[in-house]
């Protein structure tokens, strides 16, 4: 009986296995049916210099593909992006045009977020290079174009803002051809197609003077005709290259990228392999999503050539290792800031004081999602050294953290150096492009020459303005932006971009980036009477009835030396009354610093205190006696 029962159980198991196998066959067939035909896919990225109209162009493309757009710059969905008017992170949107599925990637234009551009170019088949028809190619135009040409992409050139009276399409096209040639573009890449457009008015045309009533259709036609379809196969094993990572409180880690081969459905086992071929983790796909218009929707199949976002559940599946997929290398960071726990007397008043471990957990998680930053333990303190592309990028990182209620202290930015293949110390050198009024060119050249900048080009532009181009070490540009704004009365335009690693010069001219500072020697609330007496000493950073503490920087001194002052000293009360004694104190408006300008302003042995409500500057050593003794050493 036991043998018969065993045989019966074996028979039932075989029948159940057969039923599962047969039921799985229609699923496979269904997956193949639902998979996208790669020949009907087009993957393109929109790349450009900052403020040349990428996000606006994306909005008009969405509108002409029957996607409801409620307001301008819908692709810039983050609060910081809308407040600052810039794109910070790359975003993917997918639209349907005729029988084609167009995956459009909107990328940042600021040089500090160049890592976002580098990583998304690896998952597209072409790029739409957007150039202002008046300004022409700028610093970031050269950077993004060089990255696209290095990946053998043939860009489609769009001259935007062609409707402006100052537009000069012929001259800009000539400048673009020279730029392509200087970047060693191939003959095929030099034969680029030009589309004329006004993203603001919502039209594109092949003729700068006509055809303005067809919307974005001419540009969509060129994307369909000139962007090659993905060269992939649905029959090969599933492979997926990850270019962007994000977190969801319910789904966990979400990986966005391009399917390089095969198809995948929910429940399929996968594993993650690093660039060097090391297996990181095994997982199972739990959700497959894709951007359709302005929303991320669930799709049944991730098929070769498409750009999808996949959520996975990590487990201990046993899967054979495969070779890693090729991915473009990301340029290394050039500047670093040390993040410390806030230990000022006002800590905990406005937000949450993070412990070093909690701060480290947040920064390491952010570094996993942002490929252009790196986090390391600081050898000189208990803080964490965060490396990035520029002060703006790191400032955005800090702003995100403070909006979550955190308090922290930041060191002044430092320029990173490295050893080349021959063992020589090299430092980053940046290409600086400045457009100013003719009256300000002398002051700009004088200040930058003192910072070891070399003038490489100077030419007039529209109006009484001049365009200057420099090559300057990155360390010479630390703290220069506030000086530039002051010298140009806020009318100058400055763009900078990494150029090369060059041998570090043994000596550098002594450059005073600022004067001395006024340091509070008492704690309490500032008094108008005391501040009025200090106005003759310099420019104040605080107003009346603001909390200060010993060691806090409250102003800039008129001389090149720091002095300790008392901003909380109250007015002496007497029984004697006169008209002059009782008059109200009138203070000049105090200077307020944003987060980025404060980071650029502080010097060595100083910190920036960041809380959810305030940005303060302070000395690293608060006690004036201890600070004086350390200076003597």
Looking at the structure of the chain, the number of domains it has is 4
466 shares its domain with 588: no
145 phi-psi bin (left φ>0, alpha ψ -120 to 50, beta other) = alpha
Asked if residue 132 belongs to a domain, the reply is yes
Q: What is the DSSP string of 431-475?
A: EEEEEEEGGGHHHHHHHHHTTT-EEEEEEEETTTEEEEEEEEEGG
In a domain, 12, yes or no: no
| Structural domain includes residue 67 | yes
Average pLDDT, whole number, for the chain?
A: 81
Based on the domain organization, do 253 and 221 belong to the same domain?
no
With 0-12 CB in 10 A as exposed, 13-18 as middle and 19+ as buried, what is 170?
A: exposed
- Domain membership of residue 436 as a residue range: 418-503
Residue 53 pLDDT exceeds 90: no
The token pair that represents 186 in the structure block: 């191939």
Q: What is the CATH number of the domain that holds 130?
A: 3.40.50.300
pLDDT for res 522 = 93
What are the residues whose beta carbons fall under 8 Å from the beta carbon of 17, sequence distance 6 or more?
none
Same domain, 476 and 574: no
Q: Count Cβ neighbours within 10 Å for each residue of 366-377 and write b for 16 or more, e otherwise.
A: ebeebbbbbbee
Domain boundary residue, one of 315, 337, 369? 315
- Do both 203 and 63 map to the same domain? yes
CATH number at 267 reads 2.40.30.10
Claim to verify: residue 430 and residue 561 sit in the same structural domain? no
437 and 539 belong to one structural domain: no
Instruction: Please give the average per-residue pLDDT across 58-69, as a whole number.
Output: 80
Asked if the structure places residue 411 within a domain, the reply is no
pLDDT-wise least confident of 291-295, 385-389, 588-592, 602-606: 291-295
Q: Give the pLDDT confidence of 160-192 residue by residue, as tens digits.
A: 999 998 899 999 999 999 999 998 999 999 999
Burial letters for 464-489: b for 16+ Cβ neighbours within 10 Å, e otherwise? ebbbbebbbbbbbbbbbbbbbeebbe
494 with 522, same domain: the answer is no
The domain that contains 579 carries what CATH number?
2.40.50.250
Alpha-carbon gap, residue 567 to 554, rounded angstroms: 8
Specify if 83 maps to a domain: yes
Q: Hey, what are 608's tokens? A: 């920036």
**Nearest alpha-carbon partner for 143 in 118, 122, 119:** 118
pLDDT tens figures, 300-348 = 888 888 988 888 775 443 334 445 566 666 677 888 999 999 999 999 8
Q: Are residues 138 and 182 in the same domain?
A: yes
Lowest average pLDDT, out of 132-136, 285-289, 445-449, 629-633, goes to: 629-633
Q: How confident is the model at residue 218 (pLDDT cuts 50, 70, 90)?
A: very high
Do residues 257 and 220 both lie within one domain?
no
Identify the pLDDT of residue 42.
93
CB 334 within 8 A of CB 391: no
pLDDT value at 15 more than 50:
no
Q: Based on the fold, state whether residues 544 and 495 are members of the same structural domain.
A: no
- pLDDT of 256 > 60? The answer is yes
Where a domain ends, among 260, 289, 315?
Answer: 315
Q: Judge if 495 and 624 occupy the same domain.
A: no
Confirm whether 551 is domain-assigned: yes
Chosen domain end from 258, 283, 315: 315
CATH of the domain at 429: 3.30.70.240
By CB atoms closer than 10 A (0-12, 13-18, 19+), residue 402 is buried
Q: If pLDDT is split at 50, 70 and 90, which confidence band does 69 have?
A: low
CB 325 within 8 A of CB 352: no
Are 157 and 280 in a shared domain?
no
Residue 6 belongs to a domain: no
- Does 378 fall in a domain? no
Mean pLDDT of 392-404: 87
Question: From residue 83, how far is each of 77, 87, 88 by CA, in Å?
Answer: 10, 10, 11
Q: Which of 406, 410, 312 is nearest to 609 (CA)?
A: 410
């Amino acid at each position: 009986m036991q043998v018969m029962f065993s045989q019966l159980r074996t028979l039932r198991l075989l029948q159940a296995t057969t039923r599962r196998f047969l039921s799985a066959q229609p699923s496979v067939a269904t997956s193949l049916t639902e998979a996208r035909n790669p020949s009907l896919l087009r993957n393109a990225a929109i790349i450009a210099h900052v403020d040349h109209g990428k996000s606006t162009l994306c909005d008009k493309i969405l509108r002409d593909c029957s996607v409801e757009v409620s307001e301008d710059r819908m692709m810039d969905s983050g609060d910081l992006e809308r407040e600052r008017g810039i794109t910070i992170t790359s975003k993917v949107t997918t639209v349907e045009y005729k029988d084609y599925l167009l995956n459009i990637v909107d990328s940042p234009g600021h040089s500090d977020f160049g890592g976002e551009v580098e990583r998304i170019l690896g998952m597209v088949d072409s790029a739409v290079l957007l150039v202002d028809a008046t300004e022409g190619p700028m610093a970031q135009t050269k950077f993004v174009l060089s990255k696209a040409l290095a990946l053998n992409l043939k860009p489609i050139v769009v001259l935007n803002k062609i409707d402006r009276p100052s537009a000069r399409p012929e001259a800009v096209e000539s400048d673009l051809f020279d730029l392509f040639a200087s970047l060693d573009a191939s003959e095929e890449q030099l034969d680029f197609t030009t589309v004329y457009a006004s993203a603001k008015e919502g039209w594109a045309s092949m003729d700068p003077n006509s055809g303005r009533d067809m919307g974005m259709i001419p540009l969509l036609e060129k994307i369909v005709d000139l962007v090659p379809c993905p060269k992939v196969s649905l029959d090969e094993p599933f492979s997926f290259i990850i270019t962007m990572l994000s977190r969801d409180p319910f789904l966990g880690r979400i990986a966005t990228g391009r399917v390089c081969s095969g198809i995948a459905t929910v429940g399929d086992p996968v594993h993650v392999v690093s660039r060097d071929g090391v297996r990181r983790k095994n997982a199972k796909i739990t959700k497959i999503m894709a951007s359709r218009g302005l929303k991320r929707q669930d799709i049944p199949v991730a098929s070769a050539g498409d750009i999808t976002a996949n959520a996975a559940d990590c487990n201990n599946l046993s899967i054979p290792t495969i070779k890693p997929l090729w991915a473009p290398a990301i340029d290394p960071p050039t500047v670093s800031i040390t993040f410390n726990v806030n230990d000022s007397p006002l800590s905990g008043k406005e937000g949450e004081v993070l412990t070093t471990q909690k701060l480290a957990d947040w920064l390491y998680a952010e570094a996993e999602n942002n490929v252009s930053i790196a986090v390391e333990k600081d050898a000189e303190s208990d803080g964490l050294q965060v490396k990035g592309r520029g002060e703006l990028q790191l400032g955005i990182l800090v702003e995100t953290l403070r909006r979550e209620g955190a308090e922290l202290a930041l060191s002044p930015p430092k320029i990173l150096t490295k050893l080349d293949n021959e063992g020589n110390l090299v430092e980053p050198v940046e290409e600086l492009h400045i457009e100013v009024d003719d009256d300000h060119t002398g002051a700009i050249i004088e200040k930058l020459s003192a910072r070891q900048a070399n003038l490489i080009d100077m030419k007039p532009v529209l109006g009484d303005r001049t365009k200057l181009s420099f090559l300057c070490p990155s360390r010479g540009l630390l703290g220069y932006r506030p000086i530039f704004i002051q010298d140009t009365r806020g009318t100058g335009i400055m763009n900078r971009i990494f150029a090369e690693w060059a041998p570090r010069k043994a000596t550098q001219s002594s450059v005073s980036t600022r004067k001395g500072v006024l340091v509070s020697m008492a704690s309490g609330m500032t008094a108008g009477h005391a501040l009025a007496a200090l106005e003759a000493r310099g420019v104040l950073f605080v107003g009346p009835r603001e909390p200060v503490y010993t060691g806090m920087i409250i102003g800039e001194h008129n001389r090149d030396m720091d002095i300790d002052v008392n901003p909380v000293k109250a007015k002496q009360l007497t029984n004697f009354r006169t008209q002059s004694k009782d008059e109200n104190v009138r203070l000049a408006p105090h200077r307020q610093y944003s987060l980025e300008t404060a980071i650029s302003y502080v010097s060595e042995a100083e910190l920036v205190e960041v809380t959810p409500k305030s940005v303060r500057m302070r000395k690293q050593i608060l006690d004036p006696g201890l600070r004086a003794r350390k200076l003597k050493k």
